[in-house]
């Protein structure tokens, strides 16, 4: 088997990933938000115009510095705030300020559905942006009855698209490196940015299939305003957007808020989410002291649902980031966390919020075993964010039930592994190496020696065994036969609706649906608290990242194109993989979906 050798470790990576270094808040310090009590309307502050401030975004996991406190502006906090607003009496209106911050497609879908539920109660919903990108506008058309934009803005309306950089010529012709990559699954295109200068037909099919699911969902959202025919016709500048009824009025944010306030009968504004939020969305002095005084793992003792965020690449546990700390989902720490949650009697159910393109095959399997053992003791419900692909989907199958949005990317059941040898690169600068001892051992781990045919054959056999285990885990986790997934394997990726039809997920829905399901399975009321593991020790913050990247010539100035940011992320993953283990095990394709 090749699992234990760092240089030949198989990787479970998606063909579709936006590579972002995962960062965390204060390690291991849980945060609690209470859900509304079932059947009860809350009377927080009396009549109010509720404001949701998304100008700073609502990421799955906020980026924090070493001394930062846990963020209350993450997506799960937004879900909690929206659920409380839904349960409130005397909400006279809702004003949502998007600014220019974009959302992921899946997060935008859940936000739009929440706003639509409020609108169904005849509550006026006014949404404003300085400029509307595809994802923020998708949320707005689902749930806002008034959509405004700053006079200098534009509406993207270009439909979803993706750009993937391919670097084989750079590596092999310009740098004289040799790429040794193996894969199991003909649609498994994770290696193609390294091995090709353009996509294979199978890779193109996978990407277009996933984008098609996003486009279909976007078209359905636009149809609620009769705008589906305009999809792909953008961008629309301000006056053209108003003429085409894409936006209702051209106003700056202050004017739009005042108009929403007037429509709410002059009710006072209550900011429930974002930088200006009060109450539970903000940490006071006592909260700061309490957080600083907690030990990692401290949590409320009353019965609750624990929310575990699993974001980023999956690493086994020994790999290091550029500054020495692990990055992404650290499998060994996740195993420890699952064991601890199994023993914690106050934790009645667990929700896994997964947004991951995968990573280490061994790490994925170790985590799967621990999570499956947890599932045997208490309910484990999975909510897929933007993606649960390859190793990310591996983890998802440990759950009792899997939720995903139509725009979520699911699947990529396949295995890749390999390395890049830089012997030719070193020759160019006058550095030469000599090998001693066992030739195969030297080839396996060397950053200068490529694999020979016999070594590749042996490694492929090991990877095939890992792929076989992957299929077995999927079938066991889903409670079905392996044969049931014939049309869903070999690296194929799907949107949520197709994933459901293939049995890869159970229901279409978001994080709020998964939390409600977990409470019901655990016999808890709708008002039971949700405790958020701010990282659960799974993720480590990388501080000083840009300075470290600058040493490698990888730092980019603010405002750089998304494709360059994704390419830099891809290069960072390569540096991270080679930094600790000596060589690259594998990395995902740096796909940007807009």
pLDDT in tens, 187-229: 777 778 888 999 989 888 888 988 999 999 999 999 999 999 9
pLDDT at 552: 36
The residue-averaged pLDDT of 254-283 equals 83
Q: In angstroms, what CA-CA distances link 582 with 388, 550, 574? A: 28, 21, 11
Ranges of beta strands (E only) in 409-538 are 409-411, 415-421, 493-494, 507-508, 529-533
Confidence at 292, pLDDT banded by 50, 70, 90: very low
Q: What is the pLDDT of residues 43-80, one digit of tens each?
A: 455 789 999 999 999 998 765 443 344 456 889 999 99
CATH number of 6-26+184-197+200-209+296-593: 3.40.50.620, 3.90.226.10, 1.20.120.530, 3.40.50.300? 3.90.226.10
Residue 347 near residue 361, CB atoms below 8 Å: no
Q: How far is CA 498 from the centre of its chain?
A: 19
Instruction: Using the predicted structure, report yes or no on whether residue 425 has a pLDDT greater than 90.
Output: no
- Domain borders along the chain are 6-26+184-197+200-209+296-593, 36-157+234-286
Instruction: Using the predicted structure, report yes or no on whether residue 541 has a pLDDT greater than 50.
Output: no
pLDDT at 191: 77
Q: Please give the model's pTM, rounded to 2 decimal places.
A: 0.82
> Of 293-297, 307-311, 314-318, where does mean pLDDT reach its minimum?
293-297
Domains 6-26+184-197+200-209+296-593 and 36-157+234-286 equal at CATH topology level: yes
Q: What is the pLDDT of residues 102-119, one digit of tens each?
A: 889 999 999 999 999 999
Cis peptide before 82 (omega within 30 of 0): no
Q: Apex CA 392: angle with CA 389 and CA 398, to 5°?
A: 120
pLDDT at 542: 31
- C-alpha 232/C-alpha 46 separation (Å) is 44
Confidence at 554, pLDDT banded by 50, 70, 90: very low
**Token pair listed for 162:** 């993706």
**Token pair listed for 472:** 């077995």
Q: Apex CA 70: angle with CA 68 and CA 76, to 5°?
A: 145
Residue 71 near residue 274, CB atoms below 8 Å: no
Instruction: Using the predicted structure, report yes or no on whether residue 323 has a pLDDT greater than 60.
Output: no
| Fold type of domain 36-157+234-286 | 2-enoyl-CoA Hydratase; Chain A, domain 1 (3.90.226)
Q: What is the pLDDT of residues 144-187, one digit of tens each?
A: 999 999 999 999 999 888 888 888 899 889 988 888 888 887 77
Instruction: Using the predicted structure, report yes or no on whether residue 550 has a pLDDT greater than 50.
Output: no
pLDDT at 368: 97
Phi and psi at residue 7, in whole multiples of 5°? -80, -15
């Amino acid at each position: 088997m090749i699992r234990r050798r760092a240089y030949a470790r198989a990787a479970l990576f998606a063909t579709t990933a936006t590579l972002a270094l995962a960062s965390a808040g204060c390690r291991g310090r849980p945060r609690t938000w209470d859900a509304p009590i079932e059947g009860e309307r809350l009377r927080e502050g009396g009549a109010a115009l509720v404001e949701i401030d998304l100008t700073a975004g609502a990421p799955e996991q906020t980026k924090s510095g070493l001394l930062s406190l846990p963020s209350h502006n993450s997506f799960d906090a937004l879900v909690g705030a929206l659920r409380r607003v839904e349960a409130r009496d005397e909400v006279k209106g809702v004003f949502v300020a998007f600014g220019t911050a974009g959302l992921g497609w899946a997060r935008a879908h859940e936000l739009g559905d929440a706003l639509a539920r409020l609108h169904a109660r005849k509550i006026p919903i006014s949404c404003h942006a300085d400029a509307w990108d595809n994802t923020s506008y998708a949320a707005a058309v689902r749930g806002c009855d008034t959509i405004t934009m700053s006079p200098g803005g534009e509406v993207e309306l270009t439909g979803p698209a993706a750009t993937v950089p391919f670097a084989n010529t750079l590596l092999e012709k310009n740098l004289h490196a040799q790429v040794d990559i193996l894969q199991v699954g003909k649609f498994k295109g994770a290696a193609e940015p390294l091995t090709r200068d353009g996509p294979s037909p199978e890779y193109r099919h996978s990407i277009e299939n996933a984008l098609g699911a996003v486009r279909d969902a976007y078209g359905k959202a636009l149809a609620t305003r009769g705008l589906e025919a305009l999809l792909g016709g953008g961008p629309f500048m301000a006056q053209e957007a108003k003429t085409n009824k894409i936006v209702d009025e051209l106003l700056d944010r202050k004017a739009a808020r005042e108009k929403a306030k007037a429509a709410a009968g002059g009710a006072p504004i209550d900011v429930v989410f974002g930088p200006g939020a009060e109450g539970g969305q903000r940490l006071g002095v006592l909260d700061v002291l309490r957080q600083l005084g907690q030990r990692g793992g401290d949590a409320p003792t009353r019965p609750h649902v624990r929310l575990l965020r699993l974001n980023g690449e999956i690493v086994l546990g020994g790999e290091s980031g550029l500054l020495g700390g692990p990055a992404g989902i650290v499998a060994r720490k996740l195993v420890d966390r699952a064991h601890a949650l199994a023993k914690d009697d106050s934790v009645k159910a667990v929700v896994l919020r997964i947004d991951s393109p995968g990573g280490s095959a061994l790490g994925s399997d170790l985590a799967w075993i621990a999570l499956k053992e947890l599932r045997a003791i208490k309910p484990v419900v999975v909510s897929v964010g933007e993606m649960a692909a390859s190793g990310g989907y591996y983890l998802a199958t440990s759950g009792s039930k899997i939720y995903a949005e139509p725009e979520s990317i699911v699947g990529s059941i396949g295995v890749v592994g390999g390395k890049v040898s830089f012997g030719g690169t070193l020759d160019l600068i006058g550095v030469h190496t000599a090998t001693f001892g066992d030739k195969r051992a030297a080839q396996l781990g060397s950053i200068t020696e490529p694999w020979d045919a016999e070594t590749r054959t042996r490694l492929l056999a090991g990877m095939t065994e890992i792929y076989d285990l992957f299929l077995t885990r999927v079938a066991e986790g889903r409670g079905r036969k392996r044969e049931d997934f014939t049309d869903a394997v070999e690296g194929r990726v799907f949107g949520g609706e197709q994933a459901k039809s293939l049995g890869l997920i159970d229901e279409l829905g978001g994080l709020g649906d998964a939390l409600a399901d977990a409470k019901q399975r655990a016999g808890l009321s709708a008002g039971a608290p949700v405790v958020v593991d701010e990282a659960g020790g799974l993720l480590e913050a990388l501080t000083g990242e840009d300075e470290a990247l600058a040493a490698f010539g990888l730092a980019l100035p603010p405002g750089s194109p998304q494709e360059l940011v994704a390419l830099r992320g891809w290069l960072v993953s390569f540096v991270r993989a080679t930094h600790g283990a000596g060589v690259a095990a594998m990395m995902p394709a740096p796909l940007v979906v807009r």
